[in-house]
């Protein structure tokens, strides 16, 4: 069995797609699924005519606004590998969801808008990947539109984030006049239908280029035709010559792909393309299969690795309710870390020590689901109505294990949630408890307001809009948010909570999720006066990206 587990793990590629808002994450997620033959045709982000919207944006609010609000999992097979693809929100207000997803993947695809280059959220996400030692592949998107100079983009990445881009494709034609790419590594001879096998070769490949042609309507795979050097020069003359010279320059400055520096997080293999019309997406999927790491032994909370062949283990990195109006249930997303998962097996929850059944287990494809009988390291499994599980919990069989806790973020926005129909108080409480368990917001209570008026704490104000929209849509409870004049919070103890209950300009909250006490303050200057007025007071920061 142990050799079978290792073989199945070696077939897995589990990665997240991350970027700044509007860089095209959901579009490229759909395009990857199209190349993986997991869907038969692509739709635009908003959907046009009879076209479906992107498969990963299942929430009505996402479809209305054309943005990703919550992460989504897709699984499909490609070239003998099982691809577990996680699409994530790009907006900074939902970064906590994105950061949790990054704990469950082995690699990341970072999208850059070719016209905008590195943006604030992109920089933050690169830093998170660096801190977590997650290898990053960069896809410079929207090259079919006006864009920055390609060499300028490469230099910007290296200068601003300190990671060296190693282009594996190089564009022929400037942004907005995209002709195709020079393949700077061996992508296998797909022209005769064969598949790449083994690790990708480094260094420049045979001269020539791959020419792209958009499919009618952009719903099917783009046409990719290989042109030898003579044909490329004849068709695209100056554009091809310039691209070839720039590609040679990259070799001279040692910007060729190196698997060792990629795995060490020192370089980022880089591709150019246009996800909406599927240009370059096939190369990206091939690259992921060839160089993205397969699952490896993960460290537990004590820093000891749990080998893949050890008994089953996994952790909850996300909880989501009501993904499908016909189900109206709760799904706990589990990253399988070791061993073999089998539906119906009895597992132990590390935090409580209690056992639970896994009878209702499913794989996800956006909002669609299928019953899963078995899963292996790297896979994402949804446990249905596992109400005893919370985000960050570990489950296992055999030898006990507990994985490190997931990051929790310091809130910067606070709002009092007002319910308008008291006859729906029971639904209101159930909805708030559900959204709190999912980590959509932190739910707090204070003596000043009472249990009928919970206070929501969030990283960004859009989280409040999501809460109000989901309460109305999923629980039929209309509510509004009254913004409060607080911008930061500190942890305190029971003694501190008692001492500060009547302090002016601050508010003390209890957090039922973990029994903690939080002090909300209007600004950092109020902290100093509070400390001066109350010697010995416990007042600890909630670390962004850390626990709290």
Query: 415 φ, ψ to 5°?
Result: -150, 140
Q: What is the dihedral of CA 89, 93, 94, 98, to 10 degrees?
A: 80
Q: How far apart are the first and last CA of the chain?
A: 40
Binding-site residue ranges: 87-91
Contacts of 80 (CB under 8 A, 6+ apart): 11
148, exposed or middle or buried, with CB in 10 Å at 0-12, 13-18, 19+?
A: middle
Q: How far is CA 496 from the centre of its chain?
A: 37
Assign residue 536 a region (left: φ > 0; alpha: ψ between -120 and 50; beta: otherwise).
left
Question: Can you tell me the distance from the alpha carbon of 417 to that of 436, in angstroms, rounded to the nearest whole number?
Answer: 13
Q: What are phi and psi of 232, to 5 degrees?
A: -65, -45
User: What are the CB-based long-range contacts (under 8 Å, 24+) for 296-304?
Assistant: 296/106, 297/338, 298/337, 298/338, 298/403, 299/404, 300/401, 300/402, 300/403, 300/404, 301/402, 301/403, 301/404, 301/405
Bind-site residues for GTP: 87-91
Size (the chain), residues: 548
Between helix 95-102 and helix 120-131 the angle, nearest 10°, is: 30
């Amino acid at each position: 069995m142990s050799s079978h587990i290792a073989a199945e793990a070696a077939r897995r590629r589990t990665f997240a797609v991350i970027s700044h808002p509007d860089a095209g994450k959901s579009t490229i997620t759909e395009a990857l699924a199209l190349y993986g033959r997991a869907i038969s045709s692509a739709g635009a982000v908003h959907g046009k005519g009879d076209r479906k919207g992107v498969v990963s944006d299942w929430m009505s609010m996402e479809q209305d606004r054309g943005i990703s609000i919550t992460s989504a999992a897709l699984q499909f097979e490609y070239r003998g590998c099982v691809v577990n693809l996680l699409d994530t929100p790009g907006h900074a207000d939902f970064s906590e969801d994105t950061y949790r997803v990054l704990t469950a993947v082995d690699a990341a695809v970072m999208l850059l808008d070719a016209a905008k280059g590195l943006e604030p959220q992109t920089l933050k996400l690169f830093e998170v990947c660096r801190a977590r030692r997650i290898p990053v592949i960069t896809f410079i998107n929207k090259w079919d539109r006006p864009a920055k100079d390609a060499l300028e983009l490469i230099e910007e990445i290296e200068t601003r984030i300190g990671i060296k881009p190693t282009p594996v494709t190089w564009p022929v034609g400037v942004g907005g006049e995209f002709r195709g790419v020079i393949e700077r590594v061996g992508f296998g001879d797909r022209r005769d239908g064969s598949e790449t096998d083994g690790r990708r070769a480094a260094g420049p490949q045979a001269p020539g280029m791959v020419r792209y042609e958009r499919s009618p309507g952009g719903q099917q795979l783009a046409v990719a035709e290989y042109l030898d050097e003579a044909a490329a020069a004849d068709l695209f003359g100056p554009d091809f010559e310039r691209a070839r010279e720039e590609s040679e320059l990259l070799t001279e400055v040692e910007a060729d792909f190196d698997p060792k520096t990629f795995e060490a997080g020192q370089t980022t293999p880089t591709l150019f393309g246009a996800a909406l019309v599927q240009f370059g997406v096939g190369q990206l999927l091939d690259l992921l299969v060839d160089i993205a790491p397969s699952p490896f032994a993960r460290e537990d909370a004590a820093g000891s690795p749990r080998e893949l062949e050890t008994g089953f283990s996994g952790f909850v990195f996300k909880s989501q309710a009501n993904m499908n109006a016909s189900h109206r249930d709760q799904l706990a997303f589990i990253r399988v870390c070791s061993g073999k998962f089998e539906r119906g097996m009895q597992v132990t929850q590390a935090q409580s020590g209690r056992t639970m059944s896994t009878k209702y287990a499913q794989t996800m494809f956006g909002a669609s689901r299928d019953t899963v009988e078995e899963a292996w390291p790297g896979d994402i499994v949804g446990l249905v109505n596992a109400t005893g599980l919370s985000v960050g919990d570990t489950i296992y069989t055999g030898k006990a294990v507990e994985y490190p806790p997931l990051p929790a973020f310091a809130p910067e926005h606070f709002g009092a949630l007002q319910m308008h129909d008291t006859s729906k108080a029971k639904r209101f409480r159930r909805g708030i408890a559900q959204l709190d368990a999912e980590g959509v917001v932190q739910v707090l209570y204070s003596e000043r307001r009472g249990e009928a008026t919970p206070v929501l704490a969030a990283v960004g104000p859009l989280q409040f809009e999501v809460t109000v929209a989901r309460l109305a849509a999923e629980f039929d409870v209309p509510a509004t948010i009254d913004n409060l004049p607080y911008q930061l919070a500190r942890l305190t103890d029971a003694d501190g909570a008692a001492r500060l209950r009547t302090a002016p300009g601050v508010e003390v909250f209890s957090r039922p999720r973990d029994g903690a006490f939080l002090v909300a303050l209007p600004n950092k200057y109020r902290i100093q006066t509070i400390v001066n007025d109350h010697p010995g007071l416990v007042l600890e920061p909630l670390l962004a990206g850390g626990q709290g």
